[in-house]
Structure 1
Amino acid sequence: MPVFAQEIQQLPTDKGTLLVDISTEPANPITDQQSKLKIDFINPVTKKIQEHVDYKVTVVKDESTIFGPIPLTHTSTGSVTLPVVFRENGEHKITIEIEGILFKPLPTETVTFTKTIGMATAQTTNGAKDGGGCLIATATFGTEIAPQVQQLRELRDGVLYNTSIGTTFMSGFNEFYYSFSPSVADLERQNPLFREIVKTTITPMLSTLSILNYVDIDSEQEMLGYGIGILLFNVGIYFVAPAIAILKIRQKIQN
């Protein structure tokens, strides 16, 4: 799965038969200019692209349809790219209906995504609240509704964005994170072994970050204090502890 955009959203269909990924090019569409809407249908068991899917797509803004519904269409590859022109800023509902898999009809399953166009979307890149964006964690644990992904989202929206220090941190972090996370997430989907390595690597960090969901942070100073403490804790886990272990191993070998 090639890198397509900075932000990939993934949700299951209402009956859970498939996972659906969507992204746009550009990542932050501009009104009255043609954008590309990319849709990937994912098998939730194999985590691979599901081939031969029959689908429909509709895009709605304030109960007015701006795209579709397209006729029932078949994709043999399981990946679709559609040209869409968003006419206004604000929230758009992207609804995908699935009516068949592998040439077999099935009762219609739907999934609806929310895509914000305009200033709100542009702010997402700078750290504003959004409904997705945890690309690596989503690829690692298979779905946006995984507890680990929900934990990160709650931390971001419920803790970090409630302080100016946290908001400033997220602004800089997002620019750095989205420079490499799409590539890492794509590689995870292609390589199960790499996905397990990433899972093992990020699990300690997720455990330490979860502390922030259970403490009362009433000031900028407390946010800064907890942030520095967790940062130092992770430095110890990922750098100091391995360095000490390597030194001890070397000492044993030399003796």
Structure 2
Amino acid sequence: MTPAFGQLLSDKTGLVTRLDVESGGHTFEVETVSNFDVVDHEFNKNEKRLTLFVNSGIENNLGEVIVPQTLLSGNFAFFLNDEPYNPKIKSNDKISFITLNFTGIGNNKIDIIGTETLQGVEENSYPTPIDDTKNGGGCLIATATYGTELAPQVQHLREIRDQKLMQTDSGKYFINSFNHVYYSFSPLISDYERENSFFKESVRILITPLLSSLMILNYASMDNDVETIGVGIGIITLNVGMYFVAPAILITRLKK
């Protein structure tokens, strides 16, 4: 995807991230090359806005973003942490090549806003399945909760998905079905986590039992569909017990 007018600064920036952006029933690949970590992203079709949530461990940040013209095009506006920002941008008939250069350690938000979206693409009424397994995508809520995709908890979720669930047809079916539901609400929750530290800590407490129960999968045999379904039913039953049955019993006893 390297444009004719530019050369990727991979030798300087190092970290390549490929983001699958869902819109209009299609998946578009946005590529970033940077010296900071792109921990999350979201796309608002109505606002024609692509938002990158990044985390940097150094003061001087350098990065490049390659955006397909079919996803965003026209006249662009940029915001860094909700303040107007003017990066360098060059475009051809296929992509826009954006060069980022800014300062600031820690979490930063970059908004890329176009005037056109889905140009030359027929919008589907039913979205295609979200394949979060491509390019090692992670859990939005867990990433926002623990601050980075490199957190052990997020890595553990990715390993369970790739090394366990995606090895059988039933596991793949579950992942695709789960993603359709999960990605309908997870961007809102992860975004609010970044705005509210109390909510973020509440989510951390809430998902800790779930993550602990998934440790069982490290020791479970899931070599075929029957074993995968059996283990899955067991994990679901365990979590129903922890999140619903146990609290219900406790509340009932307290009322006596």
**TM range, smaller chain:** 0.5 to 0.7
- Structure 1 CA distance for aligned equivalents of residues 187 and 148 of structure 2: 15
* Corresponding position: 1:208 with 2:213: yes
**Cα pair distance change 1:74/1:235, threshold 3 Å:** closer
Note closer, same or farther for the CA distance 1:25–1:250 as it changes in structure 2 (3 Å cut): closer
Aligned counterpart in structure 2 of residue 156 of structure 1, from 149, 157, 161: 161
1:132-171 to structure 2, matched below 5 A, reads 132-171=137-176
Amino acid across the alignment from 1:59: I
TM-score (norm 2): 0.61
Q: Is the 8 A contact 2:34 2:63 kept in 1?
A: no
Tell me the distance in 1 between the aligned counterparts of 2:230 and 2:161. Answer: 17
Decide whether aligned partners of structure 1 residues 59 and 238 sit closer, same or farther in structure 2, where only a CA change above 3 A counts.
same
101 and 170 in structure 1: CA distance in 2 versus 1, 3 angstrom threshold: closer
Seen in structure 2, the aligned counterparts of structure 1 residues 41 and 149 have a Cα distance that, compared at 3 Å, is: closer
1:125 is paired with a residue of what secondary structure?
Answer: coil
Please name the residue that 2:110 is paired with. Answer: none
Give how far 1:87 is off.
Answer: 3.6
Distance 1:195 1:126, change over 3 A: same
Runs of 5+ in structure 1 lacking a partner?
27-34, 45-49, 62-72, 89-93, 103-121
CA offset at residue 59 of structure 1?
A: 3.3
Amino acid at match of 1:38: T
User: Structure 1 residue runs of 4+, over 3 Å off?
Assistant: 11-14, 18-26, 35-44, 53-56, 58-61, 73-88, 94-102, 126-130
TM-superposed CA distance for 1:210, in Å, is 1.9
2:103 to 86, 100, 103: 100
The answer on whether the counterparts of 2:129 and 2:180 sit within 8 Å (CA) in structure 1 is: no
- 3-state SS in 1 of match to 2:184: coil
Q: Give deviations 1:194-252, integer Å, cap 9, x for gaps.
A: 0111111101001111211232222111111100011100000000000010011001x
Number of residue pairs matched? 197
Paired residues of 1:37 and 1:83 also in contact (CA < 8 A): no
> 2:212 aligned with 1:199, yes or no?
no
Give yes or no for contact 1:165–1:223 (8 Å, CA) kept in 2: yes
1:223 corresponds to which residue?
A: 228
User: Structure 1's 236 and 177: CA in aligned 2 closer, same or farther, altered over 3 A?
Assistant: same
**Unaligned stretches of 5+ residues in structure 2:** 1-20, 24-29, 69-77, 106-126
1:159 Cα offset (Å): 0.8
With normalisation by structure 1, the TM-score equals 0.61
Superposition pairs of residues 6-25 of structure 1, within 5 angstroms: 14=35, 21-24=40-43
**What is the RMSD of the two structures over their aligned residues, measured on CA atoms?**
4.3
The one-letter amino acid of 1:134's match is C
